[in-house]
Amino acid sequence: MRGFECSTHRDKSGRRLDLIASTCHDRFAEKDYTRLMELGLRGCRDGVRWHLIEVEPFKYDFSSLKNQVAAVRKTGIEVTWDYFHYGYPDDLDIFSPEFIERFVAFSQAVTEHLTTELRQPLYVCPVNEVSFFSWAAAHTAIFYPGVRRRGTELKHQLVRAGIASSRAIKSIVPDATIMFTDPAIHVVSRDPTPSKLRAAEAYRIAQFESFDMLLGRRELDLGGGEDVMDVIGLNYYFHNQWHHTNRRKLPLGHPLYRPLSDILDEYRYRYNKPLVLAETGIEDDERPEWFRYICQEVHRALSFGVDIRGICLYPICNHPGWADDRHCHNGLWDYCDADGSREIYEPLADEIRSQLPFFRLAAAQRA
């Protein structure tokens, strides 16, 4: 099991939201990593902030990453680094060829920096949630650049960027482990007419598009291949199952709710690659119960033979809401004080402690 820190994005108006800064993780990375390790969580996802590192085109300043790198060196925690978690330099047009050129050069520079500074195995998520970000930024316009009817175009752009980034990383570190992520979903129709059922199923099947593109199984002109991705990352929340077309949530326990373990098994059958639950969580008092359900379903999927390498809590720290800056109580730890101390949410911590022995045993058996 792992913790998770978010990186940056901009809302549709262009206002930049930097959760690494707003949670003070950039100041207190060592204390944050130490807390994870003391609880028994040996790894995490963390973000590099492209807009702070590439201060001018093709010129890089890694001072914003200094505390995180030093904290990794001090604690020995295993980090999967997000290179693109929605945020990018202000001067770039995300639809332009220059975006890909700059992202590849940035990926190379970050990879060289991390390997020089850390000298440990490298784990990277080049592009987080290709499909979701394409939908949010270029279909529904809820994220920057806030355009509509260009979702497919942005998906192709991010796939090209991800493919080129992955290969650039592996040209420097051939044994780097590359993960891409997208939401795992389930979509149903209340209307039993064949056309409605087909429409719901088409929406459900669309969850595989970006992975298929990256792996060279469709849209071959994008340049994908099996070498591009080593691990499938799946983000799964309480709202990831819904009715088509009104998007009304299917609650846990509903007769049409599909067990997460069955979804994971479908990914195993389709891709035959290791999986990571790359994000999962919920707000307020439901946190322990939701995490318990996730672990039970992962136990079940492992019994099917699904190769699951980790569960990442999102977030590990409470944070300001993306849309409204409200205090979201969805993490394991709360906002920090002036010294970097954070109050832990004990019910979730207790649930994590109770689950750890099983996952340690599963990891030992896999090794």
- Residue-wise pLDDT for 120-179, tens only, equals 999 999 999 999 999 999 999 999 999 999 999 999 999 999 999 999 999 999 999 999
Q: What pLDDT score was predicted for residue 362?
A: 78
Rounded distance between C-alpha atoms, residue 3 and residue 37, angstroms: 10
Q: What pLDDT score was predicted for residue 114?
A: 98
Instruction: State percent of the chain over pLDDT 90.
Output: 89
This prediction's pTM: 0.96
Neighbours of 74 (CB within 10 A): 12
Per-residue three-class SS string for the chain: CEEECCCEEEECCCCEEEHHHHCCCCCCHHHHHHHHHHHCCCEEEEECCHHHHEEECCEECHHHHHHHHHHHHHHCCEEEEEEECCCCCCCCCCCCHHHHHHHHHHHHHHHHHHHHHHCCCCEEEEECCHHHHHHHHHCCCCECCCCCCCHHHHHHHHHHHHHHHHHHHHHHCCCCEEEEEEECCEEECCCCCHHHHHHHHHHHHHHHHHHHHHCCCCCHHHCCCHHHCCEEEEECCCCCEEECCCCCECCCCCCCCCCHHHHHHHHHHHHCCCEEEEEECCCHHHHHHHHHHHHHHHHHHHHHCCCEEEEEECCCECEECCCCCCEECCCCEEEECCCCCEEECHHHHHHHHHHHHHHHHHHHHHC
Question: Angle at Cα 88 formed by Cα 83 and Cα 89, nearest 5°?
Answer: 130
Give per-residue pLDDT as tens, 210-221: 999 999 999 999
Residue 202 predicted with pLDDT over 90:
yes
Average pLDDT in the 321-326 region?
82
What architecture is domain 2-366?
Answer: Alpha-Beta Barrel (3.20)
Contact 105, 161 (CB under 8 A): no
Instruction: State percent of the chain over pLDDT 70.
Output: 96
Q: What pLDDT score was predicted for residue 360?
A: 82
Q: What pLDDT score was predicted for residue 242?
A: 98
Residue 6 predicted with pLDDT over 70:
no
Residue 14 predicted with pLDDT over 90:
no
Q: What pLDDT score was predicted for residue 18?
A: 87
In DSSP terms, 16 is beta-bridged to 10
